[in-house]
């Protein structure tokens, strides 16, 4: 998730948040999460709110998260259905 110059990320399952100042560290080598806990808190709260709105789950496949909604309609020629882009997280203010 991006907000201004900051990039917040974490790898599932439930690894700690990492925070990078992309204006100064494009290679993501200097994790700033420990130095900026207030930014991590604000950005992770925004991410979790987006995740709840989208009903996204870091630990399940799409079919497990969506149940029957992920199944193709009967008679569909494509098991996967049309490609759709995932919802985007909220942008910085």
Q: Is 52 part of a structural domain of the chain?
A: yes
> Does any domain span residue 6?
yes
Residue-level pLDDT at 84 = 65
Let me know if residue 70 belongs to a domain.
Answer: no
54 located within any domain: yes
Q: Could you tell me if residue 51 is inside a domain?
A: yes
Would you say residue 88 lies in a domain? no
Residue reference for tokens 């029957």:
68
What residue ranges of the chain have pLDDT lower than 50?
Answer: 60-70, 79
The structural domain count of the chain equals 1
- CATH code for the domain of 10: 3.30.1120.10
Q: What is the reported pTM? A: 0.57
Look at residue 93 and tell me if it is in a domain: no
Residue-range definition of the domain harbouring residue 17: 2-58
Angstrom distance (rounded) from CA 46 to CA 40: 10
Q: What pLDDT does residue 10 have?
A: 86
Which residues, 6 or more positions from 29, have their beta carbon under 8 angstroms from its beta carbon? none
pLDDT of residue 92: 59
Residues 6 or more apart whose CB falls under 8 angstroms from that of 79 comprise 72
Check residue 65 and give its pLDDT: 40
pLDDT at 55: 80
């Amino acid at each position: 998730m991006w907000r201004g110059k900051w990039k917040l990320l974490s790898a599932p399952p439930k690894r700690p948040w990492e925070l990078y100042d992309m204006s100064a560290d494009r290679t993501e080598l200097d994790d700033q999460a420990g130095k900026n806990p207030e930014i991590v808190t604000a950005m992770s709260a925004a991410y979790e709110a987006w995740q709840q709105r989208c009903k996204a789950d870091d630990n399940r496949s799409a079919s497990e998260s969506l149940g029957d909604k992920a199944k193709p309609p009967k008679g569909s020629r494509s098991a996967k259905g049309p490609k759709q882009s995932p919802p985007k997280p909220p942008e910085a203010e």
